[in-house]
Structure 1
Amino acid sequence: MKILMPLLIFFSFSVFADEFTSRVELIEEGDGNLPHLIKLENGRVVFLDGAERELITDFEDSQRNGDYLEVVVDETNSYVSAETVENENSIVPEETKRSPNFSYDPTVVSGYSEASSIFSRMRRNYQYESQCYNRAHIWAYEENKRSNLNSMKLFLFFTNRYIRNYRYQWWFHVSPMVLVNEDGSSVERVLDRRYTNGPRYVNSWTNIFIYSGRKCPVVQKYNDYRNNQEKEDCYLIPVSMYFWQPRDIVSRDNNGYEKKSFIKSEVDWAYWEAF
């Protein structure tokens, strides 16, 4: 079993320690003054001292191997330790078919009242430590089965600049989104059953998470976020309800693989993790 050696720490675990299991998704290197950012598949960000180059190498090895890591952080979300673990519930992503001409038509609901009804039907018995992408997947999946609603999802990506400035512990968030008929126009309303009490306009929703109050530009490609980490605090990418994790956006952009349906193994995983 491979172990990433812990940094020296000067506090007791009885004070605070947060532990979670995930794979490494992205590594954003800092330097002696700026911390390295270890972006995990579950959306969490781990801060690692900019001088710890050897530990970065260990994380890079784990990323290449697709290892699941049991990570421990302190109260500032700084790295304490990480250990490679077996994950019996892990799934192998299913390859989706190349669909360059696939067109997704989201449902336009009749008005705010209908959007509120959809919101109120979204289950609230999620596990407290569940991940946003799993909650969002089940909320979208269940309403589609219930009413044939073709909803959207809205990915909110936080940039390195924002993460470092606010010591923010997440690098993305996602929620279902519907188009609502308001005076003849289709208006986007986000349905985030965990962080709001009803359908929200996009800017009202992002302001919950963006402490600077800056607007998040809407982009269509993942690289528009990935390659512009210092220009903005955040970016938004709207996708269909079938998208589960950021890797689905990357796969679409790089390989043309467009999801056209829910994948059972992903739905099963989302139920297991979130509810």
Structure 2
Amino acid sequence: MKTFIAAVVMCSLTPAFAAGYLKDFDYQLTDIASKGLTKESLFNKTKTDFMDLEKSICANRAHVWGYDLFRFNKINTGKIFIFFGASIWTKSDKHGYMYHVAPYIVENGTEYVMESSYPSEMKTPVTVEEWIESETYNRVKGSDCLEITAEDTDLTEYFYARQTLPEKRANGKPGARCYIRKVPGHYWFPTSIALHDLKKDADGKKVDYNPQTFDVADVVEACIETASSKIGRFFGGASARTKCEKHLRR
């Protein structure tokens, strides 16, 4: 009987975190339903017309979109990264890449990815599983990607090297053909995650990296890259800067 009572007390003291709680960052995504918002309404307001969706960097696009979700709606959003193993993509692949990233939100306790990089393919928010299958061209099931945390430092080390992640890991740790990592919306690149998790930079110097919100200067830089043509980048991106200043003044 005493054991039963003790168990009940322990359960009552265990924090019940809501969907969208990111323990590594002590960060809670807003459930948009509590704000009277819907995933469709937010998705349909995403601005892409000033961006080069094909040639710009996905992390920069996601950073601008994440900032827009935050500033227009006063909500905490997240980003979801998917990292690929060599059997999915390699650097020698014509269309291969190490990772992809998009904003994600929570509605009524369910996570949805706000993927706007492929307007002809994804016209609505999708579940995490649907997003994984799309990003891997259905080479894996949506449930087959392994979600990693700050404890998976053997994988995070690869973020500095910008390499595909190993599908087999040492010391009996579970591996997969792809990995996902959920972070606060104001985290920008995989290297941002590495700075937080490893507490050191690419040169091994100790750092304390724990940003609490978007750095607007970073958003501007990200925006300019997404809006620049190849020729425009060569000439300093003046046209892109004008587009971004207009967008960010909205």
TM, length-normalised to structure 2? 0.62
Q: Which residue of 2 aligns with 1:197?
A: 123
Distance 1:109 1:265, change over 3 A: same
Match of 2:42 among 115, 118, 123: 118
> Within the alignment, does 1:207 sit opposite 2:136 as a pair?
no
SS in 1 for 2:87: helix
Among all aligned residue pairs of Structure 1 and Structure 2, give the percentage whose two residues are the same amino acid.
26
Q: Which residue of 2 aligns with 1:233?
A: 177
State the Cα distance separating 1:213 from its structure 2 match: 2.1
| Structure 1 alignment gaps of length 5 or more | 1-99
Please give the residue correspondences for 1:100-249 in structure 2 after superposition, counting only pairs within 5 Å.
103-110=26-33, 114-125=38-49, 126-128=51-53, 129-164=55-90, 167=93, 169-181=96-108, 186-195=109-118, 196-211=122-137, 212-214=139-141, 215-221=144-150, 223=153, 225-226=155-156, 229-231=166-168, 232-249=176-193
Q: 1:159, 1:225 within 8 Å by CA — same for their partners in 2?
A: no
Quote the Cα distance in structure 1 between the aligned partners of 2:24 and 2:59. 26
State the Cα distance separating 1:164 from its structure 2 match: 4.1
**Per-residue deviation, residues 97-139 of structure 1 (Å, max 9, x unmatched):** xxx9963221101199701100111102121311111111111
> Within the alignment, does 1:254 sit opposite 2:201 as a pair?
no
Q: Please tell me the residue identity of whatever aligns with 1:259.
A: P
Quote the Cα distance in structure 2 between the aligned partners of 1:163 and 1:117. 33
SS in 2 for 1:107: coil
- Which structure has more helix as a fraction of its residues? 2
Q: 1:141, 1:262 within 8 Å by CA — same for their partners in 2?
A: yes
Quote the Cα distance in structure 1 between the aligned partners of 2:190 and 2:66. 16
Q: Please tell me the residue identity of whatever aligns with 2:103.
A: P
State the Cα distance separating 1:161 from its structure 2 match: 3.4
State the Cα distance separating 1:224 from its structure 2 match: 5.2
Q: Please tell me the residue identity of whatever aligns with 1:273.
A: E
Q: 2:87, 2:177 within 8 Å by CA — same for their partners in 1?
A: yes
Q: Which residue of 1 aligns with 2:233?
A: none
Quote the Cα distance in structure 1 between the aligned partners of 2:154 and 2:74. 32
- Which structure has more strand as a fraction of its residues? 1
| Structure 2 alignment gaps of length 5 or more | 1-22, 159-164, 169-175, 200-207, 228-250
* Larger relative contact order, structure 1 or 2 (CA cutoff 8 Å, min sep 6): 2
Q: 2:106, 2:112 within 8 Å by CA — same for their partners in 1?
A: yes
Quote the Cα distance in structure 2 between the aligned partners of 1:203 and 1:241. 19
State the Cα distance separating 1:160 from its structure 2 match: 2.6
Q: 1:109, 1:179 within 8 Å by CA — same for their partners in 2?
A: yes
Quote the Cα distance in structure 1 between the aligned partners of 2:43 and 2:92. 30
State the Cα distance separating 1:205 from its structure 2 match: 0.6
State the Cα distance separating 1:259 from its structure 2 match: 1.5
Quote the Cα distance in structure 2 between the aligned partners of 1:199 and 1:259. 27
Q: Please tell me the residue identity of whatever aligns with 2:102.
A: S
Computed over aligned residues only, the root mean square deviation of the Cα atoms, in angstroms, reads: 2.6
